[in-house]
Amino acid sequence: MRHAMIMAGGSGTRLWPFSRADQPKQLLPLFEGRSLLSLAAERLNGVVEAERRVICTAERFRGAIGESLGDIEVLGEPCGRDTLNAVGLTAAVLARRDPQAVFAVLTSDHIIEPQDVFADAIKTGFALVEEDRSRLVTFGIVPTHPATGYGYVGRGDAIAGFTNAHVAAEFKEKPDLETARRYVDSGTYSWNSGMFVFSAATVLEAMERFHPTNAKSLTRIADAWEDETRRTEVLEELYPALARTSVDYGLMEPAAQADDLEVCTVAMPVEWRDVGSWPSFAETLEADADGNRANAPSVLQDCRNVLAVSDSEERIVTAIGCDDLVIVATRDAVMVCPADRAEDVKRLAGDVPDSHR
């Protein structure tokens, strides 16, 4: 049966002061009143039935996410142990309920359009794994520049009977700049989207081989899952001790070297924007003739390339003679920084008083 898990574990501190300890970026209503997480769930309409969707997030966000999305199961991690363990936990829980489970792993911090192209690619991923459960499928985005912060997938032989599907010739996470340039220039490499389709049983078997200690603990957690009291006890005992690693380093790279596993890539020719910082959020807004962007009332006199953000239609943002600036105003905080220092907002958020985190 087809299932889906949406990863929603990050807090999004680069979007402070909108994102806070009790309201992660996935729940911020930044997109015409909708959140990134609600958009991610909507993208699954027509792909995976609502009752077979789960969200994996930090335990402290479980209540807020459940409240926001309604009747959807939320797997709460007592602490972050990176994406491999989120995927492994989901695989272990699903495999106990459905030994034939095939599940998509999806992100909650991207704008992905158009919906039909996304849906067709995910359906192709499911069909690939259902035909051969040794396959681990990732989705490739056409690279626009030699980014060193993304993983890359090299396209090998086409897979007969499937549109835009190839065996992965190489899977490389976060290469250096020279290597990234070579990948982009070749025309045969894609960015790894961070989305996957797996057989739950195959993930567990691979983890037993590559990360046996983690696999053993995750199996014990899944064995206790349906008893809420016991689940909490076992989670708090075992989960913090799991070795941290990403699904890219911990599963996909070693799987690409294994003779009995097949890493595949499916092209996903979509507009794919990672909304993880204020400049990336700015790209979702329409610019005026001077490059200024705003999500609420603003007056920007003699300004160029200014982003003005407010959490209320009743709060106006104003500026005079500013260039290349980010201005964010909320009911209890104001953040101003040069646009090229927006990545430092994460460090800034760590230095503000606990009352405003």
List pLDDT tens digits, range 92-146. 999 999 999 999 999 988 899 999 999 999 999 999 999 999 999 999 998 988 9
Task: Mark whether 254 and 311 lie in a shared domain.
Answer: no
Q: What does the pLDDT read at residue 70?
A: 79
Can you say whether the dihedral through the CA atoms of 62, 67, 71, 72 is positive or negative? negative
Q: What does the pLDDT read at residue 68?
A: 83
Q: What does the pLDDT read at residue 273?
A: 84
Task: Mark whether 256 and 331 lie in a shared domain.
Answer: no
Task: Mark whether 23 and 159 lie in a shared domain.
Answer: yes
313: nearest Cα among 329, 337, 291, 325: 329
Which segments of the chain does DSSP mark as H helices, in order? 36-42, 59-69, 82-97, 115-131, 177-186, 200-210, 212-223, 228-238, 247, 253-256, 278-282, 345-351
Task: Mark whether 184 and 301 lie in a shared domain.
Answer: no
For the chain, the helix, strand and coil percentages under 3-state DSSP, each to the nearest 5: 40, 30, 30
Residues of the chain short of pLDDT 70, as ranges, are none
Residues 100, 102, 107, CA angle at the centre, nearest 5°?
155
Q: What does the pLDDT read at residue 295?
A: 93
Strands 135-141 and 189-199: antiparallel
To the question of pTM greater than 0.85 for the whole model, the response is yes
Task: Mark whether 38 and 187 lie in a shared domain.
Answer: yes
**Which structural domain, as residue segments, surrounds residue 243?**
2-273
Last residue of a domain, one of 218, 242, 273: 273
Task: Mark whether 54 and 193 lie in a shared domain.
Answer: yes
Q: What does the pLDDT read at residue 4?
A: 98
Task: Mark whether 8 and 46 lie in a shared domain.
Answer: yes
3-class state of residue 308 by DSSP: strand
Q: CA–CA separation, 357 vs 335, rounded Å?
A: 13
195: nearest Cα among 109, 106, 125, 270: 106
Cβ atoms within 10 Å, residue 331: 9
Cβ atoms within 10 Å, residue 267: 18
Task: Mark whether 56 and 143 lie in a shared domain.
Answer: yes
**Total tally of structural domains belonging to the chain:** 2
5: nearest Cα among 104, 138, 112: 104
Task: Mark whether 261 and 162 lie in a shared domain.
Answer: yes
Strands 165-173 and 262-267: antiparallel
Cα 22 to chain centroid distance, Å, stands at 19
CATH of the domain at 106: 3.90.550.10
User: Any idea what DSSP says for residue 282?
Assistant: H
Task: Mark whether 336 and 196 lie in a shared domain.
Answer: no
Q: CA–CA separation, 123 vs 129, rounded Å?
A: 10
Decide if 350 contacts 13 (C-beta within 8 A): yes
Task: Mark whether 206 and 297 lie in a shared domain.
Answer: no
Q: Which residue has the tokens 């095939």?
A: 102
Last residue of a domain, one of 238, 273, 308: 273
Cα 279 to chain centroid distance, Å, stands at 18
Task: Mark whether 349 and 314 lie in a shared domain.
Answer: yes
Last residue of a domain, one of 273, 290, 325: 273
Q: What does the pLDDT read at residue 310?
A: 94
